Amino acid sequence: MAPDFTKCIVGALAAAGLSTTDPLLVGFSGGRDSVALTAALLLAGFSNVTLIHLDHALRPESAAEAEWVASFAQTRNLDVVIDRVAVAELAAQMGAGIEETARHARHAFFATVARERACSSVLLAHHANDQIETLVFRLLRGAGPGGLSAMAPKSERHEERRSYSLLRPMLGIWRAEIDAFVKKQGLPFLEDPSNALPDFTRNRIRHSLLAEMERCMRRPVHEALWRTAEVLRAEADFVKTAELLLGPVPEQLDVFELRQLPLALLRRRVARWLSERGVSDIGFDLVESVSHLALRIAPAKVNLPKGAHARRKAGRIFFEGPPLLLCLILLSLRLLF
């Protein structure tokens, strides 16, 4: 199992243009998956690996887990970077959800370490089971082809003062294969008790919904769902490329030009326009509402997150930022944390 497991990861990284001498940052929780990824990299001869661990301070045992991570790295002569963010406190101060705040904190941490270490590749240990759980989760929220393609093997992140690549070289590897690899190598790992709790939607999908789908279909569904994500990623990439060929998104969108586009391209154009103006949480409903500014007579204004607006006037759609006071509040929170 070990050679096949390792070869799969090496192949995925080679496809991303990386070799065994390139510097790599590994998002490392200490759980089974990130331990397996790290062990495979070392077996394959990757010589410039740094573990990065963010303590979210959400569980009493998180500080002890950070110490375990430091010990794991030390015994293997690996560099390690550990930081702590009180996510619950930060979420309360910013009026945001725990998961959203934790995600932003992680990516800010990744960007900071990538900048300090002059490294542009951050590896995450998401695997094939995570992929299908993501697909099902997004399906039940009404996602389109882009969302249903789930996680990309490689995606670019652009944070403050640093851009880096997020790589997921284990998306073609199933949890059972990881378990077998970890057992054969005798690897220690941390067990997160929250993974078994039914309180979280992803856990209910993993432990209940997927099993019920297989009972209903009377056959395994995991590989079929995984293939669906692969097919939809290719479709979404095609639409993305077609939209990019239209050229840069102008400061103001021309309503007549938007109406000439196929609906899929129109939505992609609008989503890109919103993204380039710093709008967060760009989901289907928001894109559809802004698209309707071009396709319908009313309304002529759409509310955007954080007090901003999209408005149509004289055949053009333009962006209105939030009021100055709100901008100052958001800026002060950003500088503080």
Please name each of the domains of the chain with its CATH number.
Answer: 2-204 (3.40.50.620), 246-336 (1.20.59.20)
Q: How confident is the model over 179-206, as a mean pLDDT?
A: 89
Quick one: pLDDT at residue 160?
Answer: 65
Q: Residue 23 corresponds to which tokens in the numbers above?
A: 């510097």
More confident of the two residues 241 and 284: 241
Alpha-carbon distance 72 to 65, whole Å?
A: 10
Report the pLDDT averaged over residues 173-181. 97
Q: What is the pLDDT of residue 334?
A: 53
Other CB atoms within 10 A of residue 314 CB: 7
Closest CA to 201 of 141, 243, 258: 141
Question: What does pTM read for this prediction?
Answer: 0.86
- pLDDT above 80: residue 186: yes
Question: Mean pLDDT throughout 193-213?
Answer: 86
- Range with the poorest average pLDDT among 2-16, 214-228, 262-276, 302-316: 2-16
**To 10 degrees, the CA torsion angle through 96, 102, 103, 105?**
100
| pLDDT given at position 325 | 43
Q: Can you name the residues that pair with 50 across neighbouring β-strands?
A: 25, 79
Of 31, 30, 126, the C-alpha closest to 78 is 30
pLDDT of residue 328: 46
